[in-house]
Each structure stands twice: as structure tokens, then as C-alpha cells.
Amino acid sequence: MLDPDGFYHAKMAELTWENGFISSFPWLPETTLATNWTDQHFLYHLLLAPLSAVIDPLWAVKIGAVILGALFGLTFFIVLSNFIRNKRAAFWWTILMFTSGALMFRLTLVKAQPLALILFILLLWSFIKKRIFLFSVLMFLYVLAHGSFIIIPGLIGWSIVFSIFFVEEKKKAVLSSLLFLCLAAVSIIASLAVQPTFPDNMVFYWHQIFRIALFKVDGLDITGLEWGILTPWGLTKALSQLILFIGFTIFLLIKYKKSITRTTWLLLWFLVPLTFLTLRSMRNFEFFLPALILCIASTFKDARTRLLESQLWLTIRMTTSRHALILLFIPILFLTWFLYPMVSIFVNQTKAKPLTFMQEQAVFLSRVTQKGELIVNTYWDMFPALFYYNTHNTYLTGLDPAFLQLKRPEVYRALVEMRKGNFSATSKLLPGGQRDAYIIFYNYDKDNKDIVAESKRYDTITHILTTDEFHLFRFTDK
């Protein structure tokens, strides 16, 4: 499993099949999720649920990732074909998009990203093509599928600025965008309201979207890598296979700007906030790239006639044979647009966690503890695998460390100190009434490589066992 969240999704699919919508989440009692929970990926878990009932849930999510990834590619191809009216060109543009190692990495994480991307692309198309009913239905479903739904009303609001400054029929364009903005708001509210967790889910989305995704919580320094900032140079490297196309697109936009349609300019306009979001958090690259390909392909379509009639193209045709161009580009295409992403995927998969990750520890803990007893997992990314193999216990932190910090900042600070080998505040980590607990450390913990030696300084800490990946301790309040 390349991403530990895959274990969580597998378990949620299994629980969804058994119980329907999971309206409470008692497994993280010390976090905000204990009181303000909603399954933000419910639609994803619902789609996986039947498959998880037939085969091993861990294999169900892996197969689901392949199916949904393929469906995303098909959806993108169909939408792009509708935009540029050329299926052959749309096919090759779609292939080009999938040569991105960064995108392929995100799609292989066994998460809800492919489903979110399907809805994102269809919503962009339905907004641009003014499909009111389809847009409303898709927006309703998007809220049930992924927390990134907030991007859509943001882009529509951004399109109002575009209409005011760059569209001749300003009033009509602004009113149209306002209509879709209202539809998005109504669909979002309706989708939130039908969830059994309403109105507590409003607090969850406030934390998830605004306090974690858009505005980093003060002092939070261990959040997931996907929330990390992507530098302009990092974005340039992620787009390395598209640099020539991006450069040529800029040339076409400047050279043949009178031939460029309003749709293309709008897609270009959308890239501004999407670029900002991507630089703010690398996880948004998966939304930026499809929009970029749509813009590039639409630009090529708009400028094609003028380009083929230009002296530049005639000169290229006269001085270079078609066969020479093919022979020149085949090795380049193979090495940079096929081999690199495939090698990148293979290298990433070698770093994947085995499907038995933490199984032994989780089963052991379920046998030696009382039901509901809190396990101190020192890192939040231990939780998904522990949760998958052991719902008998509860856990200190999981899904995102911010959920712990938002509810109990003093516990969060004590946890950070514990990872450095300071066990003196261990009792602060436990809920009232619990006087002892099992503690799990990574064996390759960089904060403190001598954690076993450090633990011997405390008579409240007993070292239970050490494996290749973990240390297990027992805390007893004396």
C-alpha cells in the first residue's frame, strides 16, 4: 500500500457495506472527529463497498483505484473531445496528461482522487456548456465524494471577474455565473443537510477545508506531505514533459489571440487560482494538470487553422520531411513521455507498505487490552493500518494530526515531546480514568534513535518488544 490511508479506505468500505453511512467515529476520541465527524469520502466508500464484500477489502481498494483511474482517463477524453471536436487529438492529449509522473503518483495512492477528478472535470464542462441540471446533480455528489468540492464555487466566483473585465456581454455573462454560483451553494447545502451527521459536519468541513487545507493551523509541523508547499521550481519539474507545449501555447495565445475563443481564455483564467492552490499545497496538482491540458488543447484547436496557413508552418513543411520528424520524436517520446513515468511508478511502488503492515501489532493489542482502551500511536499515519486490523481499541491521533491539535493542543505538545524521548508527560496523553496504555514508536524514528535506552530512565515505562519497524512500550502510572 503506497499510502497508509488506503487501509483506512478499505476499512471504511467494509463498514459502509455492513452499516451504511458511518454517522460517528469513536476510534479517535481525543480529536475533533469524536464530536464533529462526517465521512467526507462516503460516495467513494459506497462504490467500493460491494467489491469489499466479495474480496479482501485491501484488494478491493487497489482494484477500485485502477477502475476509477481508467474511468477518469475516459471521462477526460470524452470531455476534451467535446471541447476540441477531434477524437484523435483528444486521445493523444489524454495520453500526454498521463505521462506526468506526479499525476500518476497521486492516482496510485489508493485514495478518492480519481473519483474527485471525474466529478471535477464533468463540473467544469457542465459549467462552461451551461448544463444546469447536470451541474446541480454533480455538485451534490461531489460534496459526498471529496472535500475538494469547494474548488468549484471558487472557480465560478473567479469567472465573474473574468466576465466583468474580458467579456463583451458583461451583464449576461455575470448573471449566468451568478446562477451557477447559487446552484453550487444550494447543491452543497442540500448535500450537507442530507447527511446523518448534519449539522456537526459543518464544523468538520470548517476544520478540513479552511483550517487545514487553506490556512495552516498555528504550530502544526507534522501534517501530511501532500499538504506541503510546492515551490515554483518544483512545479516546473512536475511539468517538465509539457514545457515545450506550454511555451508553444503561450506563443499561439499571443500570435493568434483574435482566433482564441472565450472558452479557451476562460480555461486559462481558471489556471490562475489553480496555480496558486497548487503552490500552496502539492496535492492540488491533480486538479491543475487536467485544467492545463484542457487549456493547451483548446488553444491548439483555436489556432490550428491560422497556424497551418502561416509562413512558419509552410517553412517547416518545406525544410523537414515527415519521416524525419517521426524518427526524431519517437525516441524522445519513448524516453521522456513513457519510460520516465513508468519507471517513476515502479520506484514508488517499491516503497509501498506491505498489506500486512502493523497487522501483528494490531492483533496483539486487541487481545491484551479492554475494548475501547486508548493506544498511544506516536505518529498519525500509524492509525489507518491499526484501524483496519483492530477496531477493538481507540487511538490517540489519526487521519491528520491537526484534528488532535485543534481539540487538545496540550496533548499534541506532549506527544511531540514524547517522540523526542521525553516520557514525563505521558499521563497527559490518556483520557480520564485510564492509568496505563501501550505506546507504539517507529523503529526508524529520526527524532530519537535511542528511544529504548531513553525509556529505561522512567520507571513508568516498560519496553515490551522491538521489530524491524516498531518499538512497543507499556506505560503504567505509578
* Per-position DSSP letters for 139-151, written without gaps between them: HHHHHHH-GGGGH
Q: Could you say which of 330, 349, 368 is where a domain stops?
A: 349
Does some domain include residue 58? yes
With b for 16 or more beta-carbon neighbours within 10 A and e for fewer, the 2-20 pattern comes to bbbbbbbbbbbbbbbbeee
Does some domain include residue 88? yes
Same domain, 153 and 209: yes
Give the DSSP letter of residue 422.
-
User: What is the span of the domain harbouring residue 139?
Assistant: 5-349
Same domain, 335 and 374: no
pLDDT of residue 414: 87
Q: Could you say which of 323, 349, 375 is where a domain stops?
A: 349
Same domain, 337 and 267: yes
Q: Is 372 left (phi over 0), alpha (psi -120 to 50) or beta?
A: left
Q: 151-166 and 113-128 are packed helices; what angle lies between their axes, rounded to 10 degrees?
A: 30
Same domain, 185 and 236: yes
Residue with cell 505521558: 426
Does some domain include residue 354? no
Q: 113-128 and 262-280 are packed helices; what angle lies between their axes, rounded to 10 degrees?
A: 150
**Ordered strands of the 394-395 beta sheet:** 394-395, 374-377, 436-442, 470-476, 461-466
Does some domain include residue 144? yes
Same domain, 252 and 280: yes
Same domain, 302 and 329: yes
Q: Which residues contact 11 (CB under 8 A, 6 or more apart)?
A: 57, 384, 387, 388, 391
Same domain, 277 and 395: no
What is residue 464's three-state secondary structure?
A: strand
Same domain, 175 and 310: yes
Residue with cell 519517437: 330
Same domain, 235 and 313: yes
Q: Could you say which of 326, 349, 372 is where a domain stops?
A: 349
pLDDT of residue 416: 86
Same domain, 71 and 198: yes
Does some domain include residue 293? yes
**pTM higher than 0.85 for the full model?**
yes
pLDDT of residue 70: 94
* pLDDT tens track, the chain, 478 positions: 778 899 999 999 999 999 989 989 999 999 999 988 999 999 999 999 999 999 999 999 999 999 999 999 999 999 999 999 999 999 999 988 988 888 888 888 889 999 999 999 999 999 999 999 999 999 999 999 999 999 999 999 999 999 998 888 888 999 999 999 999 999 999 999 999 888 888 989 988 887 777 666 555 554 555 666 778 888 888 888 888 889 989 988 998 888 889 999 999 999 999 999 998 888 899 999 999 999 999 999 988 776 666 655 556 555 555 555 555 555 555 555 556 666 666 666 666 778 888 888 899 999 988 898 999 998 888 999 999 999 999 999 988 888 898 888 888 888 888 888 888 878 888 877 677 889 998 887 655 567 888 888 888 888 888 887 888 999 887 6
d(CA 219, CA 53) in angstroms, rounded, equals 41
Same domain, 154 and 177: yes
pLDDT of residue 342: 61
Same domain, 382 and 323: no
Q: How many domains does the chain have?
A: 2
Does some domain include residue 459? yes
d(CA 89, CA 121) in angstroms, rounded, equals 18
